[in-house]
């Protein structure tokens, strides 16, 4: 018997091709899983639930395909399918204890699924757990290899997470931002570039930009799904399809499409599908971009809400918790800060996934479990952050129109509109004098521009500055 850390409590003995291992008597996994637990005590992070579900779905589809092709006994095929369906439901997640940082092909997790399903199917057929009446390799893994199962499962897991979790969350946030853009279309405020005062704009225009960023984010999700619809299943060990039926992959993809509602198909080139993980690297890059978008919006919102007396204060964030353990009454933009931290984490995940993309060596990528973990974690974090930001911050934002108007009138950038009538240099001179004397551009222009007050007021109408106008064309700032 192999040396191992013995489990606490009652045990049974299971075997794999390397010998015997003891496992907890109530565990559904077997020797290969126990061996992996012994070998990889690294992080304590298990393979994510969505990956376990996807492995169950692949095994379910494979059992149906093999049964339909007549190469797996019908009773065994049905029992395997039923057990795999149970795995896919999440009911057996506790029996998937293998660490994320395991064999780079995901073989340990594939065998974990094979063993759990085999033992469940064995008992369903009246056999004893561990007897291998249903064999984890010969029956559950029939026509398959970890090398095509695991990348196929990653694609299914990431696709489901993108479609079911991330896309709806981004739509919720986009809708909240668009509602503010429409609500605040008539509120004039000061624009800012380089953190400095710029020309007037509408608060609604600013938030329409944020809403548009979410539209682009949703489009990025949609684009990133396409490469993942190709599955490696059918390539077995190196992409040649050794030990599998020629129709197996097509049938598995058909069953998986029916089970998930996704549009899945066999890879056009199995050697690319197993040797490279470029599609996952592409998805990760899109997730990074989406996270950066959310961080930009959250950062802008906290700046616009800064204060309440010493900052910009054009909008007010909902107060969700006390902000200081020492300063009474202080309320901080904590929801925005959480979103910004999520963005930083996702950028880190993307760096890891990019490095994992370099792990394709000849016919197989050897960093797949880590890729799966980081991608699914990024999707989970962004989706949760987007919903939190929408419901706990954006939905409760309030505008401060009087503060917005006051900052516009005090801005030196108002001089931009004067350049239409008196030229850039004279307008700049008026702006400088306004700054030196503490007066507004309007007040200095009345006496220094050579224009009558009515003309000055027409030029300095902030509403007219918020859109192009063929009668107001001149130098930029």
Q: Which residues are catalytic?
A: 194, 324
CB atoms within 10 A of CB 311: 12
| Nearest-5° Cα angle at 211, 208 to 213 | 115
Per DSSP, 130 falls in state: T
Phi, psi of 51 (to 5 degrees): -70, -40
β-sheet bridge partners, residue 11: 24
CA–CA dist 58, 454 (Å, integer): 75
What is the length of the chain? 477
Pure H helices in 100-247: 107-124, 146-161, 167-183, 203-228
> What is the bridge-based pairing of β-strands 265-266 and 230-231?
parallel
| 452, 461 contact by CB (below 8 A) | no
CB 339 within 8 A of CB 298: yes
Q: Cα 197 vs. chain centroid, distance in angstroms?
A: 34
d(Cα 255, Cα 242) in Å, to the nearest integer?
21
- How far, in Å, CA of 152 to CA of 361, rounded? 18
CA distance 197 to 202: 14
Are 353 and 284 within 8 A, CB to CB?
yes
Radius of gyration from C-alpha coordinates of the chain: 30
3-state secondary structure of 39: helix
């Amino acid at each position: 018997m192999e040396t191992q850390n013995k489990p606490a409590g009652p045990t049974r003995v299971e075997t794999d091709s390397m010998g015997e291992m003891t496992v907890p008597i109530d565990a559904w996994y077997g020797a290969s899983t126990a061996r992996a637990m012994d070998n990889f005590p690294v992080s304590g992070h298990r393979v994510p639930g969505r990956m376990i579900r996807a492995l169950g779905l692949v095994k379910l589809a494979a059992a149906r395909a093999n049964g339909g092709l007549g190469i797996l006994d019908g009773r065994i095929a049905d029992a395997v399918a039923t057990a795999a369906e149970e795995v896919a439901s999440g009911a057996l997640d506790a029996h998937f204890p293998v660490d994320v940082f395991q064999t780079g092909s995901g073989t340990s997790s594939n065998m974990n699924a094979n063993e759990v399903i085999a033992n469940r199917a064995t008992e369903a057929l009246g056999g004893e757990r561990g007897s291998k009446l249903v064999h984890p390799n010969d029956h559950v893994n029939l026509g398959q290899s970890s090398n095509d199962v695991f990348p196929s499962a990653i694609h299914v897991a990431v696709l489901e997470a993108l479609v079911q979790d991330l896309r709806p969350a981004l739509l919720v946030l986009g809708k909240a931002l668009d509602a503010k853009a429409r609500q605040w279309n008539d509120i004039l405020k000061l624009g800012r570039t380089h953190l400095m005062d710029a020309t007037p704009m509408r608060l609604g225009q600013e938030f329409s930009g944020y809403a548009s960023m979410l539209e682009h984010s949703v489009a990025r999700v949609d684009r990133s799904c396409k490469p993942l619809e190709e599955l490696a299943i059918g390539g077995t060990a190196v992409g040649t399809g050794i030990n599998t039926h020629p129709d197996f992959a097509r049938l598995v993809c058909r069953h998986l499409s029916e089970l998930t509602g996704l549009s899945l198909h066999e890879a056009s080139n199995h050697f690319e599908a197993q040797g490279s993980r470029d599609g996952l690297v592409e998805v990760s890059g899109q997730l990074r971009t989406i996270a950066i978008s959310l961080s930009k919006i959250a950062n802008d919102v906290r700046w616009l809400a800064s204060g309440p007396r010493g900052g910009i204060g054009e909008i007010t964030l909902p107060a969700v918790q006390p902000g200081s353990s020492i300063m009474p009454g202080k309320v901080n933009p904590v929801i925005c800060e959480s979103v910004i931290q999520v963005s930083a984490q996702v950028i880190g995940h993307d760096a890891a996934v990019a490095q994992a993309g370099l792990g394709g060596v000849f016919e197989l990528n050897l960093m797949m479990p880590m890729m799966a973990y980081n991608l699914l974690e990024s999707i989970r974090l962004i989706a949760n952050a987007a919903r939190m930001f929408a419901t706990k911050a954006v939905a409760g934002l309030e505008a401060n129109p009087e503060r917005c108007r006051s900052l516009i009138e005090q801005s030196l950038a108002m001089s931009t509109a004067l350049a239409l009538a008196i030229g850039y240099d004279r307008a700049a001179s008026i702006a400088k004098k306004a700054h030196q004397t503490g007066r507004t551009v309007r007040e200095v222009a009345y006496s220094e521009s050579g224009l009558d007050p009515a003309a000055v007021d027409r030029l300095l109408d902030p509403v007219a500055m918020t859109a192009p106008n063929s009668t107001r064309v001149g130098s930029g700032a």
